[in-house]
Structure 1
Amino acid sequence: MDLLLKPVRLATSKPARQTYLNTVLFMITSAILLGLAVIAYVLFYFNYVPQIGVERVVHLQYGDGPHPYGIASLDSSLVHDQAYDISLSLHVPRSPPNLAAGNFMLSLSLLSPSYTPASTPSSPPSPPTIPSSVILFSTRRPALLTYTSRLISLSSRLLTLPLYLLNLKLESETLHVPMAESLRFGRGAIPAHLLLELQAVAGAQLQVYDARVRFTARFAGLRWVMYNYRFVAAGVFISAFWGVEMLCAGVGWVVIRALFAPKHIKTKKEKMIKEEEEEGTDEDEDKRVKKEEEEEEGLLEEDPDLSDTPRTFPTYGRQAPLRYIPKVKREDIEDENDGVEEQQRQEADDENEDEGVGLRTDSGIGTSFSEGVGGAGLARRRSRGGRVGGGS
């Protein structure tokens, strides 16, 4: 039964529960930080990578000047230090006036934010009244309707007559005219408005269905990688953001644990550090204690006796009285003890010799020899006992 419950005890022990809690907190924190990393990359992408294409419809004004023109607002769609290709799409009918106009000029001007357009569209200013100081860029390009002979034009119309009848095809043409290539704007010099003007020969007036100006960004470097390889760039940048967030979170967690750790944990760590320091200084401590003892012995030997007479001092309670023995007396006692020990060793040697003699000779019982020997031994023992007693 204990073997069956042992895995359960291990799984529900305090270290295991603490591990589970730390794992859950780590996963929750990682998920939150991953979401923040995704949001950070999305914001970074839209702030760093501009729109690939910005298109504005230009509403042309007729009768207010020598040529049709229109002004459109660019807002804040363009960014600085980014190359743009500018093109014009002109949807015109293949009418006799347009075919008779032949070549005509398209003029495009980009105006600075300091320019303020007219408040009412019914009375806009004519192009000549716009000061040159607000013009950041200006370009003119020619345009011409596609030529087709009478026979080809008649045959094409006959073959596509059902489409014309069903209004699925119109007798019109869309001209795509490039106006500028790789145009860059500096910081603080981003255009806020554009001015388009159709300049035809004198006496001719173009008929236009629709006019659109398009800005196409030419990405390079990091912007090109982020736009053309969006998933790869997103994975790399999100992983980098997430790694930095996890690193900062880990450092913050360690700092918080260090600042707000329980006192018993700190005390335990301090004890461990103190024990390690004590183990490392045991030898030095022994040497220091030994040196102090030697110095104390030397001082005691050098200290003179306060009195030559031994004294006894009373104490309180049942404690033994304190005795003072002068230095000279101590030396005499030590000499006497050394002499007693030497005499005891000599007597022990004599007894060993006597025992050896007794074994090699006759016992001598009942004779004067045995009595003399016994008396001598008895006298020797008595004299030894007396000397020992006197020494003690």
Structure 2
Amino acid sequence: MFQIFSSLKRTVCMGPREFVRQRFKLPLVKFIHDTINLYKTRTQTGVNHIREILFRGTVVALITALLVWLAIFMYVAFYYAYVPTISHERPVFLKFRACDTNSCGSGNGKGMCSFPSAHIKLTERQRLLMLGQPYKIHLDLEMPESPANRDLGMFMVCADFHGSGGKVLANSCRSAMLHYRGYLLDTLYKLVFSPFFVFGSSEEKQNIHVELFSDFEEIESEPVTDIFIEIQTTHIEIYSAKFLINARFTGLRFLMYNWPIFSAAIGITSNLVFIAIVCMVSWYQIINSEEYQHLLHNQSERKILQDFDSGSSNSSLDEDTSLLEEEKHLRLRKGRSGSKDFIEEIRDFDC
């Protein structure tokens, strides 16, 4: 009851403006201020959380991209080191000694008086063929279907492989001839393709494929640098010739060359797994090392000291604040008691 009367007395003494200010305006302002601070704190916390998530995601994405590109680089390097070039091609320029009016018993000065031959420079110093890789070597001859070639029959094609010192490392001789076509088949062929022959889009010629080596492997100590070709006949007619070396892949090389996407997927995935295992093992070794444990122990000690210093400073500030508040209350009480004594003295004087 006493509290109710005291509150009513305080309300009457404050006046309407002060009553509205203390009872409505100040609590409303305090509520708005606390609400704004609350949402501001939540927003700042959310922004910091999103920033941390973005930072971690960026770091993870960069590390993943680095590992993927490293795996791709490892596979590409292994592919070019393990799988050789599939084919090597060299043009063949045949030369021979032409007949004159006094040679070879011929008075017309036509034809060849020596076998057509050619020299092919395969490489200068560096090795062209891969060691341990078998190669298929053949010579392609483009020959017209002339009466001379039809009457030639079989002929021999020989090849000598020389090293850098001129030593013969390998040689091979193979027979070849034009493909035979009978009179009726030849007539039908010419009738069907006669428009192409007239307009020049096709010719009466055959490509003769002469296989010199089916499984050639280069010697480690002496690589092949020069090749000498000789066609052992003087009655042959040739448009052009080319020398071909094709790698014969088996096993993993066959899979990597003929199935590139499948082998690349398996190879890159294997590299990623290997790199991930290496990184995990390295990270496990680092976090369990004595240096890392000593660093963590020092950081924890520093954190404890900082927390202790901040706690002591806060406690001292709290003590100072409480002392100031007590002094302020004492001053207010002294002021109130002094005003009451002054009022009583005035009343006594009036009486």
TM-score (norm 1): 0.55
**1:262–1:13: structure 2 CA closer, same or farther, 3 Å change rule?**
farther
SS of residue in 2 equivalent to 1:146: coil
Shift of residue 59 of structure 1? 1.1
1:60/1:69 contact within 8 Å kept: yes
SS of residue in 2 equivalent to 1:22: helix
Kindly report which structure 2 residues correspond to 1:125-274, keeping only aligned pairs within 5 A, or say none: 134-200=167-233, 204-249=234-279, 265-269=296-300
1:217 corresponds to which letter in structure 2? Answer: A
Query: What's the % identity of the aligned pairs?
Result: 25
1:89/1:175 contact within 8 Å kept: yes
Shift of residue 144 of structure 1? 1.0
- Aligned match for 2:58, one of 4, 24, 27: 24
Match of 1:70 in 2: 118
TM-score (norm 2): 0.61
Shift of residue 113 of structure 1? 2.9
1:80/1:190 contact within 8 Å kept: no
Question: Alignment RMSD, CA only?
Answer: 3.4
Shift of residue 101 of structure 1? 1.8
Distance 1:155 1:236 in 2: 53
Distance 2:131 2:118 in 1: 25
Distance 2:295 2:213 in 1: 75
1:34 corresponds to which letter in structure 2? Answer: V
For 1:11-35, what per-residue CA distance to the aligned partner results, in whole angstroms no more than 9, with x for missing partners? 3347x65554333222112212322
Q: Does 1:82 align with 2:133?
A: yes
**1:229–1:264: structure 2 CA closer, same or farther, 3 Å change rule?**
closer
Shift of residue 242 of structure 1? 3.1
Higher helix fraction (1 or 2): 2
Shift of residue 174 of structure 1? 0.8
- Aligned match for 1:104, one of 155, 163, 166: 155
Distance 1:19 1:186 in 2: 60
- Aligned match for 2:69, one of 35, 41, 44: 35
Shift of residue 36 of structure 1? 2.6
Structure 2 residues not aligned, in runs of 5+: 1-34, 99-112, 304-351
**1:26–1:141: structure 2 CA closer, same or farther, 3 Å change rule?**
same
Shift of residue 236 of structure 1? 2.1
Distance 1:23 1:260 in 2: 29
Match of 2:110 in 1: none
Distance 2:70 2:250 in 1: 28
Q: How many residues align?
A: 250
**1:141–1:18: structure 2 CA closer, same or farther, 3 Å change rule?**
same
For 1:45-91, what per-residue CA distance to the aligned partner results, in whole angstroms no more than 9, with x for missing partners? 11110122222221111118831111112234311101112222110
SS of residue in 1 equivalent to 2:62: helix
1:55 corresponds to which letter in structure 2? Answer: E
**1:264–1:233: structure 2 CA closer, same or farther, 3 Å change rule?**
closer
Distance 2:296 2:253 in 1: 52
Distance 2:264 2:192 in 1: 52
1:47 corresponds to which letter in structure 2? Answer: A
Which structure's CA Rg is the greater one? 1
2:116 corresponds to which letter in structure 1? Answer: P
Match of 2:47 in 1: 12
